[in-house]
Amino acid sequence: MEFPKRRRARELGLNIGFHTPGANNSITDVRGVRVGHATINFGEGALVPGQGPARTGVTVILPHDGDLWNERLSAASFVLNGNGTATGLDWMAESGLLEGPVFLTNTLSVGAVYDAAITWMLHSIPEIGVTADTYLPVIAECDDSALNDSRGGHVKAEHVFAAISSARSGPIEEGAVGAGTGMTSYNYKGGIGTSSRIVMSEAGDFTVGVLVNCNHGKRNQLLIDGVPVGRSLMEDMSTLHREGSICIVVATDAPLSPLGLNRLAKRAALGLARTGALANNGSGDFIIAFSTTRKVDRRDSSAILVLPELSPTFINPLFEACAESVEEAVINTLFMAQTTIGRDGNVSYELPIDKTLALLKQYGR
């Protein structure tokens, strides 16, 4: 796959935090996690609902490479500001489990993705709804209607299936891709970003990986490694601004309980704040966290389950790793996303890298 000709923050010498990134500096550094995108990008000019222009898509996170339905993972979520929706979180909170992929898309396509996710899971697991429980997909959304014909229903089942089929480990595409195709962040082109950290402690070596879909923030709020970059770059503003949202997915191979994962998810919000975000009233900020090594097998009939659990005494480095990963994932989004012209000529400009690096240099970064 040919990626955009932009470079990630760390490749340009910007080293955020002090923990070491994983091999790919990606959520896929957590063993078994795979990511896939389906991008929908066609048309130009005036909006004609149902015809375009379309700037949207689907991103899927497959949390491990085994049986997603039967090998359920410990999971939790945290809602920083709730002007949005994420399906499946009620059951996740009740059960402490993730029972399938995590899907990201635009606000008005949640229903289409929900139907497609069910179709895919029913095909994969024939006993669902017959001898087994029903399936509740986990889908988080951001509003891309500033650039996209969101009323047009352009996300179809075929796109969901394509995203799942394309899911892979290793380096993943970032920026204006998949669910991030039509997103704007800090009045710059937003979208998908990812990062990871390796934590070495007395309890063992663990990885924390993060994927974000950025559609949030105002230009003057933007901080990059603590530098108020946004205040100095007020030109080339996107032609249409809304308060927006962000979806954050946190994966770790540390054996955290649902309580521990909820605490980890809250630290993702601290990493987000380090980029200048304030969780505005109109923002939908949803964080989902899961552990790949704390599985509850649906087929296990034991009356008492014995599961590994990291002692809270050793959790602080994971908190640090999560905050750092989120901060860098957001910045990677901005560094990788390219200028996009959407419906009605609305423009979301890319972050000017040369100007940004010059500002960072002034502050010793």
Question: Annotated active-site positions, please?
Answer: 245, 283, 285
Kindly report whether the peptide bond that precedes residue 53 is cis, defined as omega within 30 degrees of 0: yes
- Amino acid identity of 163? A
Dihedral (Cα; 212, 142, 136, 323), 10-degree rounding: 30
Dist CA 7 CA 331 (whole Å)? 11
Q: Is 88 left (phi over 0), alpha (psi -120 to 50) or beta?
A: left
Q: Which residues pair with 71 in a beta bridge?
A: 297
Q: How many residues does the chain have?
A: 365
Strands 184-185 and 97-98: unpaired
> Which pair of structure tokens corresponds to residue 279?
């969780």
What is the tally of helices (H) and strands (E) in the chain? 7, 15
> Which pair of structure tokens corresponds to residue 71?
């090998």
Phi then psi for residue 299, to 5 deg, are -85, -5
Dist CA 27 CA 237 (whole Å)? 30
- Amino acid identity of 128? I
Q: In Å, what is the CA distance from 82 to each residue of 35, 98, 350?
A: 25, 20, 27
306 contacts: CB under 8 Å, gap ≥ 6: none
Scanning the structure block, which residue is given the tokens 């990008």?
A: 41
Other residues' Cβ atoms within 10 Å of the Cβ of residue 39 = 21
362 contacts: CB under 8 Å, gap ≥ 6: none
